Copies of this chain bind each other. A is one copy, B any other.
């Protein structure tokens, strides 16, 4: 979740039918109706969407008055709370006069170059070609969604998109609206939260068109290993599917010496010239505490970039020159990124052991979540914690789906350590106090 709190979104009647890693489809009966008029035209795929985790959280909390003796602390939303660096704001301000021109869908050449240079530096790559291997996008949500629309061929029988489970819900919605069936690959604590890629049957891979990988992973904080990437590349070579590597958390980690492995680096280290069938997705939202900038990139296979650009010319999400200027400044600076990491490291170093003593939660490799095991039902845990301690966390079951006999998010909660250290510490203390009463 990229932390949208979207009050008016996902009204009740849009409830999609849950699927189960299978091809069962929602009935047309779930189609929304407007009060006065019902247009005969409405894309029936919309009825297959599930309510968003935050919509479900709002319902879970509805009617509850959080303990009025305590100030509410939200650890449910993955929205950075550190300030946007001054240099980003200044660059946007300075670029204001650029508003008089239409931006190109392909993005400002200087921004493409800055992103290409940053990727090469960050991942130890030989130079990327900014003209063919990189595109700016309006944040990773927009791009992860539009990319599925670009690559999925819904006319092929059994069109399938593979996602980890639990997962960022955009993967599922992108698959459904592209006309594909999502297939969930469970990531469980028994296997160190590695998605069980090897349990996917060959027949399923054969109809897979797109695989989403999230690394560092939301919510588990796990980083995909080189072995796992090589396995996925091998499967992609054999079956022809495309890999979308969501790396929007790549710059949030706790040891400066251990930057998470990225998909492009994994491909390069595996001798895969040109990143075949691979596109990686990054963002400034977490790296530079600028979720309101709506700025990210895609990079990888030039053929995919070209197709994506063609789609985007109609899709129409060209980046404002002011946003592009701010983004350029952000990609060209690492000082603020290291400071940002230091702030997260301070929180996780201090608070993960303190919470883990009461609630099992492994130290993540990266990202800013604790993925903690609850005693009993996760939604009930979140509900009571909110009522008694005014602390909100996200039930893990809302981030997963029932698949292969289990919802791997069940019995866990996602705790986002995004607030300042003191506030997070206070919240952890309250969770520990709460656990004594459970």
Contacts and interface: CB of A to CB of B under 8 A. Distances in A.
Interface of A: 2-11, 14, 32-44, 46, 49, 52, 79-84, 88-89, 92-93, 96-106, 131, 138-139, 141-146, 149-155, 170, 173-174, 177-178, 209-210, 239-242, 273-274, 276-277, 285, 289-294, 301-304, 306-307, 309-311, 313-323, 326
A85 to B, nearest CB: 10
The copy count of this chain in the complex is 2
Contact of A242 (B39, B174, B320): B39
Nearest to A161: B41
Contacts of A289: 100
Contacts of A80: 100
A205 B438 CA distance: 63
6 contacts: A8-B131, A34-B307, A39-B240, A44-B153, A149-B177, A322-B323
Contact of A276 (B36, B43, B98, B285): B36
B100 A241 contact: no
A105 B301 CA distance: 30
B306 A32 contact: yes
Nearest to A91: B96
Contact of A310 (B14, B301, B326): B14
A224 B92 CA distance: 39
A49, A52, A313: which has the most chain B beta carbons within 10 Å? Answer: A313
A315 B46 CA distance: 12
A10 B93 contact: no
Contacts of A39: 151, 240-242, 277, 301, 303-304
Contacts of A138: 138, 316-317
Given A34-B301, A96-B89, A322-B292, A41 B151 contact: yes
Contact of A32 (B241, B310, B318): B310
A142 to B, nearest CB: 4
Given A4-B104, A7-B106, 9 more contacts: A3-B102, A9-B104, A42-B153, A46-B310, A79-B102, A138-B138, A145-B316, A292-B320, A322-B323
